[in-house]
Chains A and B, each alone.
Chain A
């Protein structure tokens, strides 16, 4: 409302100048400095390795008292990420603390890609597969990563 809070300015500045490894943050719209875009590399040794996933992030009016809003724009096959890119992650909901930062959230999401939590799923079918036939789940996740998150090299 009355200008951008110091905290948001400082956090975004740090994210851009001193990025989290494997993550690129940007401000796509100069008129809305609360809206950020993120490119996240899939964690190594996971079915998402090699993929670059796009996310969008919005810092609501009452941030940091309320968590940032964030979703995947790139389709991800994952028990805790739904088809609209919504992420089921405790720190984005009940376990948010104003002492966390955007950086904390991004790292938690990357961590979630690495270690899915099929016991608290957003998509029960994916969770089921993840538990019963992990190899098959990994295979599909890898296919999706290749299909949606790997930019084809220009020929």
Chain B
């Protein structure tokens, strides 16, 4: 498993910025909140489901005495079975995520982490369990959100973790600009373990529109290579076409595994992307 290569100072900076991020995530999640999804049958849970007559063998403690006092029979209170599901989340790290084209925009990492935390907050409210790739334990309960936020830097750099339970759900957030084969491998590995999931591509607007002009020497952020474009205006259409093709490839590989794919731009509000994600995760 690759080791997270987040420099310590950066991690500290992130840690310092996390509480506001968590607060923002809570705020974003608030706009998308909905109730716990019950299993529509009695079981473990807090919500009342039904009264049923006492049967021999029921523990005396389960008798609802208030209801029983209304008649001559004893009633037992049953609650709805609420099954908690595990959702595994992954957020792409790496220097390419720390890029932004304008100081007024958030970096892709900031936006991706915000979406991840907001989604986590929603899931916690729904009573679900949340895992991060590369971390041994799952998180649950609303109080766990800050802890999870602080664990973010320790999460795996690549979405591969053998400890993810089968039939869990997965959400991968990143720019997915790496070659399609890499993404296909990750998704295939997860799909092989019956994990269904969702890919969310977060891009900077400049990456989508290529707004530069003139003679520009583009330099890679994560990789040391560069490309000299004599006249950027001339290649803009070509670039957009290539990007569209890359996205089509992502969408196709997701669909092949029964996954879904969506895009998000850092200059768009995060709520829309979050709502779409949450819908995807809603029970069938």
Same complex for A and B? Answer no
Q: Which residues of A contact B (CB under 8 A)?
A: none
Q: Which residues of B contact A (CB under 8 A)?
A: none
